C-alpha cells in the first residue's frame, strides 16, 4: 500500500470520478491532488443525473470529497476513507501503476 501522495513513477493515469446527484445544481471535485480547490475541478452532469470529472493522476494515494451545492460529501460509492481534521471523513483512492 502506498502512503499519502506517494509516487512510484511518473506514469500518470486517467481516473474518472462519478457522483449520482440528479437534483444538484453544482458539484466540484476537491482533494489533495488540487490543494482542496473549490473551483479547479467542476463536474459535469450527464442526462441521467450522474456528475463526472476525469483527472490525470500519478500512482499514489489521494484523499478527496465532493462539494455539492456548497455541502461537503464523501463518495458514497467508495468505502475507503480516512478521518480529517474537521472531525469528518475524506474518501481515499489508491492508484497503482498497473
Residues 6 or more apart whose CB falls under 8 angstroms from that of 87 comprise none
The tens digit of pLDDT for each residue in 74-88 reads: 999 999 999 999 999
pLDDT in tens, 28-78: 999 999 999 999 999 999 999 999 999 999 999 999 999 999 999 999 999
Mean pLDDT of the chain: 90
Its CATH class, for the domain covering 13-95, is mainly beta
DSSP string covering 30-69:
EEGGGTT-SSSSB-EE-TTSEEEEEEEE-SEEEEEEEEET
Enumerate the domain spans of the chain.
13-95
Is 94 within 8 Å of 57 (Cβ atoms)? no
Amino acid at each position: 500500500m502506498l502512503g499519502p501522495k506517494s509516487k512510484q513513477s511518473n506514469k500518470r493515469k486517467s481516473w474518472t470520478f462519478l457522483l449520482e446527484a440528479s437534483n444538484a445544481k453544482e458539484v466540484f471535485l476537491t482533494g489533495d491532488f488540487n490543494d482542496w480547490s473549490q473551483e479547479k475541478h467542476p463536474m459535469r452532469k450527464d442526462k441521467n443525473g450522474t456528475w463526472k470529472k476525469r483527472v490525470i493522476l500519478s500512482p499514489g494515494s489521494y484523499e478527496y470529497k465532493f462539494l455539492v451545492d456548497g455541502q461537503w460529501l464523501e463518495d458514497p460509492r467508495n468505502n475507503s476513507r480516512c478521518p480529517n481534521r474537521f472531525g469528518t471523513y475524506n474518501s481515499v483512492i489508491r492508484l497503482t501503476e498497473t
